[in-house]
Amino acid sequence: MTKPHVVVIPCPAQGHVIPMMELAQCLVKQGVKVTFVNTEDTHKQITSTWLEKDGFGKLMQMVCLPDGLETWEDRADICKLTWSILKTMPSKLETLMKTINNEDGNDKITCVIVDGVMGWAIKVGKKMGIRTATFWPASVATLASMLSIPKLIDDGIINHKGLPLSDVIIQLSENMPPIKPKNLVWACFMDVDTVEAMFQVSKEAEEAYTMTDWFICNSAIELEPAAFNLYPQVFPIGPFLASNRLGDQAGHFWQEDPTCLTWLDQQQPCSVIYIAFGSFTLFDPTQFQELALGLELSNRPFLWVVRPGMTKETTPAYPDGYMDRVGSRGRIVNWAPQQKVLAHPSLTCFVSHCGWNSTLEGVINGLPFLCWPYFADQFLDETYICDIWKTGLGFNKDESGIITRGEIKSKVEQLLGNSTFRDKALDIKEKVTSSVTEGGCSHKNLCKFIEWLQGKNTDAKDQPDHM
């Protein structure tokens, strides 16, 4: 039988590329051929950190398409990038897939697996008569907020452009995280144009949900049962990393600094605070200095990821004499092998922006959190951590909107002084790890999906395992 050949299309953001790369790796191991499609800029970033170990022989190829922007244009401008992708990439993808299908009659594309926020690609697959699957890299609670757009409009919570009209707390069902309208995934940006662009992306996710043959999600029923009960057609197949905790991840935009692992080896068990804010979070100089001083005041060893571009200055401005005072107690790197860091026995807690990937990585390593969300789905994830799972704490800002050094010191002491947070974190870790092992819900759903790709299970409406 001819091997299935899937085209995988992630959103060009670090938190989307990595889980879709994990999915691609999983499929390749099952004999599925994968063509992984990035934008040209993302392709360049990934291949600049690519290692030989990341290759998968003839069963996986990396290709790229233009996003419509010039090389000199700022891709951190989410509004401009979003509209450019929607205008440029559908026709480019269709041309690419026609070329692939014409090159070798025995290697035709059998399925297109699309990131949930790239719903336009589902339409391309449908137009070409190719089976489709949508992969959701965030929480199902985030998806639920997008699928509720018509109701939110009808209820007067948002207008037809996605702008909040009300301050009423939204809770889509009992035991799901409540959220403020201003923190909806598309509404938490500073300017109206970006909100409108992200609202269009959110509506694309809604269309993908209704049009696709399969809808799979990098989550587990044990993490958000209420959300899966609300949308039982969604197949939980994750977290992927729970079954590959010490593996080498592919798809990073920056070069990892492995020397921090040697530094961690020299620290006491359960002693190190790990601080990392993903690929988008930005700090103004005052907040950056307060964070630095808060870590100093904690009087604990810390590993801090300060990625290029994290502050407005070319070189982040640390407080005077800071490096001398913290000495070897603090380790600062541009980018860390996070999966391995979080699994290290010296870690005691994770100060995180609460992106879903980082949240899952903390969960599968049984770590308590200190939550510092920046935008998008991160506020919902913070609510899961603090209010639903009860495995972490959030920070309070002062009247100027700053999280002060004293607040940071206080929350570190509060989190680490109460063993309940770690106990709950370890309990959730055990449940989620069981889900991805043989016989677990996520493992059974992933097997069903792979069988469908291989043509063994042709019922696209098969019900997911939620037990």
DSSP-derived letter for residue 142 is H
Model pTM score = 0.90
Q: Which of 124-138, 178-192, 396-410, 423-437 has the lowest mean pLDDT?
A: 178-192
Token pair of 245, please? 């905790």
Estimate the crossing angle of helix 192-211 against helix 78-103, to 10 degrees: 30
Q: Do domains 5-246+435-453 and 259-431 have the same CATH topology?
A: yes
For 201-281, strand residue ranges (E) read 214-217, 235-236, 272-276
What superfamily would CATH give domain 259-431? Glycogen Phosphorylase B; (3.40.50.2000)
pLDDT of 419 over the 90 cut = yes
- DSSP alpha helices (H): ranges in 299-337? 322-326
**Is pLDDT at 454 greater than 80 in this prediction?**
yes
Beta bridge partners of 112: 7, 132
The encoded tokens of residue 9 equal: 């299309």
C-alpha angle with apex 68: 355 to 211, nearest 5 degrees?
60
**Confidence band for 45, pLDDT divided at 50, 70 and 90:** confident
Number of neighbours of residue 44 by Cβ within 10 angstroms = 13
Rounded-to-integer distance, Cα 229 and Cα 257, Å: 41
> Does the pLDDT value for residue 402 go beyond 60?
yes
Rg over CA atoms, the chain: 22
Beta-sheet strands, E only, within 142-210: none
* Pairing label, strands 5-9, 33-39: parallel
pLDDT digits (tens, 9 = 90+) for 80-91: 888 898 999 999
Lowest average pLDDT, out of 170-179, 185-194, 240-249, 444-453, goes to: 240-249
Residue in this structure with the two tokens 């069963």, named with its chain if needed: 59
Query: Which one-letter amino acid corresponds to residue 338?
Result: Q
By the 8 A CB rule, do 90 and 67 touch? no
Burial of 365 (0-12, 13-18, 19+ CB in 10 A): buried
Q: CA-CA distance, 257 to 240, in Å (whole number)?
A: 23
Separation between Cα atoms, residue 363 and residue 342, nearest integer Å: 10
Check pLDDT > 50 for residue 52: no
CA distances from 79 to 158, 195, 278 (A): 19, 8, 19
Residue 65 CB contacts under 8 Å (≥ 6 apart), including other chains: 37, 38, 39, 40, 89, 92, 93, 96
Structure-block tokens of residue 432: 């989620």
pLDDT in the model for residue 208: 83
Q: Please state the domain extents for the chain.
A: 5-246+435-453, 259-431
Lookup: tokens for 412: 């570190």
Specify the residue for token string 């990396």: 62
For residue 245, is pLDDT > 50? no
Q: What whole-number distance in Å separates Cα of residue 153 and Cα of residue 149?
A: 6
Enumerate residues 6+ apart whose C-beta is below 8 A from 111.
4, 5, 6, 7, 125, 130, 131, 132, 133, 453
Close Cβ partners of 349 (under 8 Å, ≥ 6 residues apart):
273, 274, 367, 368, 369, 370, 412, 415, 416
**Nearest one of 120, 90, 329, 86 to 212, comparing CA atoms:** 120
Residue 62: beta bridge partners? 36
Are residues 416 and 348 in contact, defined by beta-carbon separation less than 8 angstroms?
Answer: yes
Q: Tell me the CA distances in angstroms from 409 to 269, 290, 291, 295, 329, one per residue in order.
A: 20, 11, 10, 7, 16
Residue 232's CB is within 10 A of a number of other CB atoms, namely: 10
User: Which residues, other chains included, contact 31 with Cβ-Cβ below 8 Å and sequence gap of 6+?
Assistant: 3, 59, 454
**How much is the mean pLDDT over the chain?**
89
What is the pLDDT confidence band of residue 53, given thresholds at 50, 70 and 90? very low
Helix H or strand E segment including 343: none
Which CATH class name applies to 5-246+435-453? alpha beta
**CA dihedral angle for residue 91, residue 94, residue 96, residue 98, rounded to 10 degrees:** -140
What pLDDT is attached to residue 189? 78
Cis bond leading into 258, ω under 30°? Answer: no
**Looking at residues 371-375, what average pLDDT do you find?**
92
Q: Per-residue pLDDT tens for 11-39?
A: 988 889 989 998 998 899 899 999 999 99
